[in-house]
Each structure stands twice: as C-alpha cells, then as structure tokens.
Structure 1
Amino acid sequence: MGGGPAIAGVAHDGFLQYVDPNRKWYSNRRLLILNAWIFLLLITSSTNGYDGSLMNSFESLPLWQSYFGKPQGGKLGLLNAIQNIGALAAYPFAPYLSDGLGRRLTVWIGAVIMLAGVAVQGAATHLNMFYAARFVIGFGLTFATNAAPLLVTEIAYPTHRPQLTALYNSLWYSGNIVASWTCFGTEFIKNNWSWRIPSILQGLPSVFQFFLILLGPESPRWLVSKGKETQALRTLAHYHSDGDETDALVLYEFNEIKAGIELDRTVTSNVGWSALWSTPGNRRRMTIIIAMAFFSQWSGNGLVSYYLNQVFKTIGITNTTIQLLITAILAIWNLFWAGLASFLVERVGRRILFLTSGLGMLLFFTLQTICSAQYALHQNSAAAHAVIAFIFLFYASYDLAFTPLIVSYTIEILPYTLRAKGFNIFNFSISVSIIFNQYVNPIALGKLGWKYYIVYCCWLAFECVFLFFFIVETKGLSLEETAALFDGDDATRAIGNATHEIRHDDLHDEKASGSYTPPNELKA
C-alpha cells in the first residue's frame, strides 16, 4: 500500500494539460472573486478553532471560574464535551442537508444556529445556560463544517484545490489565535465582560456567512447531481475561464464531473449509509478516514488543546498571565506551520507529509514525557522549560499533516455520491474521540500525572505503522481521478474512458463550429 498505483485509463497529467499557465489568481478578477467566496467558507474552521481555545482560556480566567462556581471534574469535562455532544446530535441530518438543499444553504443554516447559540453564551447567567449555549453552537457547527469544505473543494480552480482545501483546517488556528489573544487582553477587565466579550466574538464569522454566503456560487457537482447541468457549466465557465463555456479546461472538468457522478450511480446503486462499507474500496476508504479522525485527537494534542492549564500545573507554571501568553503564542506558531504545510501538499505530497508528521510527533512527545518525569521526580526547572519547547516542536510536527490534510485527504478520496456521508462519518468520529478525551484526560492527568503521557507514546508508534501501510499518494490528481484510486482497475478505466469519450464528442462539435482552442495553444 505504498505510494499508490497509477490510474488505469486516466492520463496522469489529467486536467493539467488544459490549464493555462499564464492565468494567475492574483491577476484575474474572476479568480480573485472566487477565492474571496472560498475565504468566506474557510472561516468556518476559524469558528471551530475559536471554540477550542475559548474553553482553554476560560479555565485560566479567575472571573469566569468564580462566576460559574469553579467547575471541576465532571462539570469541567461536560463543559468541554457539551459542544461535541451538540455536534453529535446534528450528524444524522447534516449530509442530507448538504446533498439535498445544497452546500451554500447548509452553511447558512449552520451560521443561523450558531449565532443563536453565541447569543445565549454571551448572555449566560448560570452554568446550565452556558451548557445549553455550547450545545447549540455545536449543533449548528456540524451543518457548517459538513458543507463548507465540500463546497471549497468542489468550486476551487483545479490547480488551487489541494492548497485551499488543506488551508481550510489550517485556519482552525486563526480562530484559536483570536480567542487566545482576546482572552489575554480581556483578562485585565475586572468584571464579567472579561469572558462575555470573547464569548460574543465567537459569532463573528457566522455573521459574515449569514449575510453573504447565499450570494456565492453553488457546487457544480451538486448542480450536476440535481440535473442542473446548464447552471453547472455556466458556474465552471464563469469562474474558471472568464465565462467561456467552450474552454478546453471547463469542458474537461464538466464532462469528468458528469462521467464521475454517472459512474458512482452505476457502481453504487444504493448510495445510502450502507454503501460506505459495501465494496472493498469503500471499506478501505472508511478505515483510513476513521483512523485519521481518531489520530487527529488521540496523538497527545488533546492534552494541550483542552487541558493546557493542567499540563502547566504538572510543570509548575501557575501564573494566569504566563499561561494565557504561552497559549496565545502557541496558536500563532501552529498557524504558521499548518499554513506552510498547506502550500506544500502538491510539492511534497500527502504521504511524505503524513509520515514526517507521525515520526516527528512520536519523537517530540517522547522527549516531552521524559522532561515531564524529570520535573515531577527531581523538580528540575530546566526540564520544565524543555517541556514547553517540546510542546512547540510536537505541534510543528502535528501541523505538517494532521492539521491541513485530514479534511482535504478525506474529501478527495471519497466519490461524489458518498462525499457528504463519508465526511460526516469523519466528523462524527472526531467528536466521539474528543468527547472521550475530554472526560478521560482530566481524570487520568489528575491520577497519573506525567505517567499518562506514556500511553500516548505507545499510541503514536502505532499511528506511524498505520500511516506507512495505508496512506496512498494522491498528488496531481483531480477529485474524480483520486476517488477512483480505491475502486480497482475496472472502475478507474471506466471513468477515464467515459470522460475521454464525452470530451472527444464535445470537442469534435467545437471543432466543427470553429470555436475550439487546442490545449497546446492554451499553453503558448
């Protein structure tokens, strides 16, 4: 299962032969507009990241602690887990909205629900009200996070798709940064606005989506699946070729989308939930997807994401200002490495990034464990400082793959008809793993201290072995070509031949009308 097989019947350069190398996003008005719409979708991840840092910061704010009665143990675990419990409640519905109502409308519905939750959270007067608000935020976030990355990957210009889809999850840290630095600043407000202001600001991305998202483009793949082929072709042409519906790249994309969706329907007569496990290719997809979801939360990062203040206590850092400052700096560090990795996915490849990430995490988490033990056993202050350094290096390794790639890789290996449901399983698995972490980590840290880290060292070693045998390289392939990798030679040959035949017929008609521009002239 090494670097992945070549695609039978599909040219490995695929769509690249039709891309105009002189068409740059920064010098083309329509590509600039398209990427602006995509940015509006990318900030969905910022909302999610904001929430992750918000609770970490609140646990370090004395006024929040005193206002809600200094929640500990089960109450603290539920405060962190309730958002994911809300997310779990929405999972049965999210893919049906994404596939039935469309990607745009599903994002908008999620934004509306999240704004309601944020309003309640900012106005909370007791702990149960705060619980309810976080449940509602999680419920709405599921709809938005199910549809937004699908729409990003389905409307992006072909050569921009891998980087932009990888950037989606990387922007989790942009929300993390805003929450961390907001809480660092509001710590000096000596009333309840020190936590109400950060609570209210969580809704800012949803405000922009509420007013703007329905004005943006819908997924051409969704439009084709609903029989709206004229609208799909017009959307592709408008953004990918300045409105030219006879452009060679647009015709390639359009006919490949049609062929891919038709093949999915033929191969998968039942596209219900059982189809996710009905074939060897789909079972392999789901094994990878579920494993990556759990790896993304069970690699030791969950300790830092939700219980960093307790990690600080194990190494003697108890000052609130210092805790908040380290959290805020770590968020910037993470965004840098995740953003860098997002732009390397097509240069370096997914497989190398995953393997480098896994080995780096194993190395630095092991060193973090050793230094934590040194401080706990010998009160060595140098070891405590080393723990902080190794946390930063661990996260640099984590961010090479498990921030940018887990969403983009999941989406690109799924065929269109299973994409929303498969991605929903991925998000569901993440929520289950997070809920487990949020209940187990504080209890285990309290009872075992640094010894609990050894469990994650062993698990990280297993992750490296899994990644080596299961991750398939997908560099340089379109969505349809990538999804076909898992379905065997017959399926990949079928999509290649179907696409070629349809494209050949369409281009023959163009040549007869004199409107066809050969690919070599596009490259000139």
Structure 2
Amino acid sequence: MGGPAAIAGGSGHGYAHLIDQSKPWYKNRRIMTLNAWMVLLLITSSTNGFDGSMMNGLQSLDQWKQAFNYPSGGMLGLLNAIQNIGCLAAYPFSPYISDGMGRRFAVALGAVIMCIATVLQTASNSVGMFIGARFMIGFGLTFSAAAAPVLITEVSYPTLRGPSTSLYNSLWFLGSIIAAWTTYGTFNIQGSWSWRVPSAIQGLPSVLQVLLIWFVPESPRWLCSKGRESEALQILAYYHADGNAEDPLVEYEFEEIKAAIKFDKEVAANVGWKSLIMNKGNRKRLRIMIGIAFFSQWSGNNLISYYMNKVLSSIGIIDPTTQLLINGILNIYNFIIAIGAGLLCDKIGRRPLFIASTIGMFVFWTIQTACFAVYSVNGNLAAAHTFIAMIFLFYAFYDIAFTPLIVSYTVEILPFALRAKGFTVFNFALTISLIFNQYVNPIALEKLGWKYYLVYVCWLAFESVFIWMYLIETKGRTLEETAALFDGDDSAAKISEVAARNANVEMDLDPVGSESSSEKDKVSHREVVEEVKRV
C-alpha cells in the first residue's frame, strides 16, 4: 500500500508501525489479487481431504466393495494407507525440488503427477491398479503439499500471514465435504460409476493448479536466496505496497529478508539435515514439530475420519445412507469451526488454542469411551446417541488448533534455510503416524472394541501436558523475528549486523532499474536497519 505509513502504537513487533492504516487490506486491489492466488495454493490441502473422506465414503458403497472383493482387515488398511506410503516415498526429493527449482515449480510438478494418477484411479479395473494409482496420488501430493504452504507463508501480506497459512489445513475439510456429499449423491448409481465419479473429481484441484500456477508470484525469500533480489523487491512492492518500492514496510521486509538469508550463508552455512539437531533452538523446533505431527493423527480423530462406518456400525448404526449422511454433516461442521479458528489465530494466539484443544479433546473422548462401554455392555440407545454427540464435540476442540494451526505454526517457526527440510521432517512424522494408524485402527477396533478407546484417553492426557510445557507463542511476529524466540537474542543481533552492512552498501539496482540507489534510498534503508536493530 503506497504512501506514508500511519503510526500504530502499542505493538512491540518490528513491522507493526509500518503498516499503512489509511485503508483496510480488503480495499486494496493488489492485496486482494494476491489473496486470490493464495486460494490456488490452499486447495492443495483440499485434494488430501478429498482422499480421506472419499475412502471413508467408498467403504459404505456396495458397488466399490464388490469391485475390489470386499476388502477388510489388512487389505482395507493398505487401501487407505497406500496414498500416504506414496507420500513417504517422495519425501527424500521434495525439499530439494522446492529449494532448488522454486516453490511454484514444486506445486506444478506435484499437480501434474496427481492429474495422471487420478485418471488411472478412475479407470481402475483391479485392486492392484487402484492401489498403484493411489500410491502415485500420494507421491505427487508430497511435492505440492511441501511447497504450497511454504509459498503462502513467504509471500503473504504480513498481517494476513497467520490466518492465510492457517486456512491451508482448514481447507482439508473443503475437499472432505465435497467427497462426502459426492459419495452420498452417487450412492444410488448402478454399476462402477458410483465410485468412479468421486475418483475423477479428486483430480479437479490439480487440473486448476497446472493451468494457473504460473500466475502466482514466486517466494521473495527464495528469489533472494538465488541472487534475484530485484525480482524479489518487485514482488514485495507490487503486492504489499501498490508498486511503491520505497514504502517503509517493503523496505523493512526486503532488508530483513536479505539480512536473514545472508546470516544463513555467512554464520549458519551448514543447512543440511544435521542442522535440525545441531543447536538448541533447532532441537526445540524439532521437538515441537514432531510432537504436533503425531498428535494431529494420534488423537483419535483418524479412527473417525477413515473408519467411521466401522465406528457407527459398532454402536448399531448400520444403514449406509445414515452413515454417509452423518459423515457429510460432520465434515461441514468441522470446516466451519476450523475456518473460524484459523481466522482468529492472530487475535487469540497459537498457545491458548492448542491448550484448549488438547484439554477439550481429552474431556470429550473420555465421555465417548464411557458411552461406547455402556452401549457395548447393555445396548443402551441413549448411550449410543450421546456417543454421536460426543464425536461432534470432540471434533470442535480438535478443529480449533490441530486443523488450522499445525502447518502454519510449523512453517513459521522454521528459519528460511531450514524451512523446506524442516517441513519435510514434519510431514514425514505426520505420514508415519498416519500410516501406523490406518493399519492398526481397524484391527485393534475389531479385536478390542470399546477398550481400544482407553489407549487414546491416556495419549490425550500426555498431549495436554506436552503442549502446556513446550509450545511457544509466535503471534504478531515476522518470520525473521520468530527466530529470536528459539535461537535467542544473539542470533537476532547477528542478523541485524548483516542488515546494517547491507544497508551501508548501495543496492545493485534501484526500483526503476538504474545502476545504483539514490542518496534518499540509502537513508531510507538505514532507517529500516535501525528498526531491525530495535527488534
């Protein structure tokens, strides 16, 4: 937003007083355009959500069960888990594609693979072909899902970064809703098109991404890391300040990005995988990332997400239409709560939402367990109905943190040099936990019944203690400022020193393309550096 920035007092964070208060962001055409391109990245998560809900719905379709010889036990676990096994196979490659070729290229590559895979899945005439196609979907999804939230974080307008990245995981439920109601709608179609139609629709977000991704701006941080600073400044100016490269906010962002990247190269040059455990700050990050990755899948939610038909059948609800209807309503409910919580994350804060989420899940999962036990003993219908109500209340608390925040929080606590690799570690941990659950849940539920729920009661109690002890609040900070919370003031001071040296040297190109910056530009840059030092 061009023009002088109004002073907004009361904030201790470096960029707060540089935000132009003359008009709200939603009246700025270029910020709105940027947000529209963000939607194209956000729907990557919808592809993943579609898959989980589709597989849940297909298990209630006789046509699908007949086509694949009524899978159960280990085979059913494999059909659900194979997509995530595909994700696992791509993790060794995804950070190198994202860091080497760019965030946009990684999204495009993943989308192309998923387009091919959904064609094969839709055309499947054997269980082997269906499994192979789902493996390919997971393989492609890794490239897109590893780069899309990172690009959103790195290019978003500063005050919208938290809500925008939080929406990423929340849109998992958009795909889930579409899949749930698609399978509900195709239930009465005779023949294989009852399950082929949902399979085909799964590829729609990927088709849109292949066609439109090249209009999305590349990450200014990635461009700076490749020496393309003039392009990075152009993008920041165009989308964050109506094209004004001399806007105080743009200058602050640009100098801070350059300083952080230069610090990574000069002081923290070792950015290999070992860097994640080489210092105290990174070990803190790793502990939190792996913790919330496992918690997001091991809180009991996947028992419902992937095997709702088995859960509902165990409390006497065996009608497929009723099962599909409950699945569809639950997904809409989850979507509304997750979107609301994601939009409020900068007002309430990350830590309060995570603490409320884990405690709430523990309470309502415990009540679910009691209801399940009562129904199993004497078939009490009131207990069965209460059990369904507790599913909705449990998910309300899951959705306020573990849907919107796990991706956004992970991405924002990682420094640029480790962001792609660290996010890959997070996704690897999440996928391992998910695959384990997908295999174990149907077998354990069949063998143990309601007693299996007691395992999650104990685990949720542990989650609550872990979150209380280790989760750090990050709201209202730039990505570079957040580093000081983990690495200490010493790291921030070194970045400031680098910023000071940068600012005392003329820029290679000024905003209009001349050989050097004007004296006015250099003075402005020095003012920005003083602000960085103050932080």
TM-score class, shorter: over 0.9
Deviation at 1:516, TM superposition (A): 6.1
Deviation at 1:431, TM superposition (A): 0.8
504, 512, 522: which one aligns with 2:520: 512
* Residues 299-322 of structure 1: per-residue CA shift (max 9 Å, x gap): 000101111111101111000000
CA distance in 2, matches of 1:341, 1:210: 30
* Residues 425-483 of structure 1: per-residue CA shift (max 9 Å, x gap): 11111110011001111110000001000000000000000000100010110001112
Aligned residue number for residue 14 of structure 1: 14
**How many residues get paired?**
508
Letter paired with 1:419 = R
Aligned residue number for residue 444 of structure 2: 444
Deviation at 1:239, TM superposition (A): 0.5
SS where residue 357 of structure 2 aligns? helix
* Residues 94-141 of structure 1: per-residue CA shift (max 9 Å, x gap): 000000000001000000000111000000001000000000000000
CA distance in 2, matches of 1:266, 1:23: 40
Aligned residue number for residue 159 of structure 1: 159
Q: Please, which runs of 5 or more residues in structure 2 have no aligned partner?
A: 1-10, 508-516, 529-535
Moved more, 243-252 or 488-497: 488-497
Letter paired with 2:251 = L
CA distance in 2, matches of 1:300, 1:187: 27
Deviation at 1:345, TM superposition (A): 0.8
Deviation at 1:234, TM superposition (A): 0.5
Letter paired with 1:494 = K
Aligned residue number for residue 532 of structure 2: none
- Residues 77 and 438, structure 1, Cα contact 8 Å, conserved in 2: yes
Letter paired with 2:520 = A
* Residues 148-199 of structure 1: per-residue CA shift (max 9 Å, x gap): 0000001100000000000100000000000000001000112211100000
CA distance in 1, matches of 2:198, 2:298: 28
- Residues 109 and 140, structure 1, Cα contact 8 Å, conserved in 2: yes
Letter paired with 1:279 = N
- Residues 12 and 477, structure 1, Cα contact 8 Å, conserved in 2: no
Letter paired with 1:194 = S
SS where residue 227 of structure 1 aligns? coil
- Residues 174 and 335, structure 2, Cα contact 8 Å, conserved in 1: yes
SS where residue 488 of structure 2 aligns? helix
Aligned residue number for residue 4 of structure 1: none
- Residues 236 and 250, structure 2, Cα contact 8 Å, conserved in 1: yes
Aligned residue number for residue 148 of structure 1: 148
Deviation at 1:293, TM superposition (A): 0.4
Letter paired with 1:143 = F
Aligned residue number for residue 202 of structure 2: 202
1:89 aligns with 2:97: no
Letter paired with 1:18 = L
Aligned residue number for residue 192 of structure 1: 192
- Note the 1:375-524 alignment, pairs <5 A: 375-499=375-499, 502=502, 512=520
The CA RMSD over aligned residues, in Å, is: 1.8
SS where residue 60 of structure 1 aligns? coil
- Residues 240 and 250, structure 1, Cα contact 8 Å, conserved in 2: yes
Give me the TM-score of the superposition, normalised by structure 1: 0.94
* Residues 315-359 of structure 1: per-residue CA shift (max 9 Å, x gap): 110000000000000000100110011111110000000000000
SS where residue 389 of structure 1 aligns? helix
Q: Please, which runs of 5 or more residues in structure 1 have no aligned partner?
A: 1-10, 520-524
CA gap 1:500/1:345 in 2 versus in 1, 3 angstroms: farther
Letter paired with 2:357 = S
- Note the 1:208-223 alignment, pairs <5 A: 208-223=208-223
Deviation at 1:510, TM superposition (A): 6.5
1:78 aligns with 2:104: no
- Residues 81 and 435, structure 1, Cα contact 8 Å, conserved in 2: yes
- Residues 312 and 318, structure 2, Cα contact 8 Å, conserved in 1: yes
SS where residue 401 of structure 1 aligns? coil
Aligned residue number for residue 522 of structure 1: none
- Note the 1:99-498 alignment, pairs <5 A: 99-498=99-498
- Residues 415 and 484, structure 1, Cα contact 8 Å, conserved in 2: no
CA gap 1:502/1:249 in 2 versus in 1, 3 angstroms: farther
CA gap 1:513/1:233 in 2 versus in 1, 3 angstroms: closer
Letter paired with 2:279 = T
SS where residue 159 of structure 2 aligns? coil
Deviation at 1:502, TM superposition (A): 4.8
Deviation at 1:492, TM superposition (A): 2.1
- Residues 504 and 522, structure 2, Cα contact 8 Å, conserved in 1: no
Aligned residue number for residue 5 of structure 1: none
SS where residue 255 of structure 1 aligns? helix
Aligned residue number for residue 64 of structure 1: 64
* Residues 353-409 of structure 1: per-residue CA shift (max 9 Å, x gap): 000000000000000000011110110001101111100000000011001110000
Deviation at 1:494, TM superposition (A): 2.4
Deviation at 1:495, TM superposition (A): 2.5
- Residues 350 and 405, structure 2, Cα contact 8 Å, conserved in 1: yes
* Residues 68-112 of structure 1: per-residue CA shift (max 9 Å, x gap): 110011110100010011001000000000000000010000000
Letter paired with 1:145 = A
SS where residue 242 of structure 1 aligns? coil
Letter paired with 2:227 = G
Give me the TM-score of the superposition, normalised by structure 2: 0.92
Deviation at 1:201, TM superposition (A): 0.1
- Note the 1:39-50 alignment, pairs <5 A: 39-50=39-50
Aligned residue number for residue 4 of structure 2: none
Deviation at 1:216, TM superposition (A): 1.6
CA gap 1:382/1:226 in 2 versus in 1, 3 angstroms: same
Letter paired with 1:359 = I
CA distance in 1, matches of 2:232, 2:417: 16
Letter paired with 1:207 = V
Percent of pairs with identical residues: 57
CA distance in 2, matches of 1:492, 1:155: 22
CA distance in 2, matches of 1:274, 1:421: 10
* Residues 229-268 of structure 1: per-residue CA shift (max 9 Å, x gap): 0000001001001111111100000000011111222332
SS where residue 243 of structure 1 aligns? coil
CA distance in 2, matches of 1:96, 1:245: 31
Letter paired with 1:370 = A
CA gap 1:192/1:253 in 2 versus in 1, 3 angstroms: same
Letter paired with 2:415 = P
Letter paired with 1:52 = G
CA distance in 2, matches of 1:334, 1:22: 36
- Residues 42 and 168, structure 1, Cα contact 8 Å, conserved in 2: yes
Q: Which has the higher contact order (CA 8 A, sep 6+)?
A: 1
Letter paired with 1:323 = Q
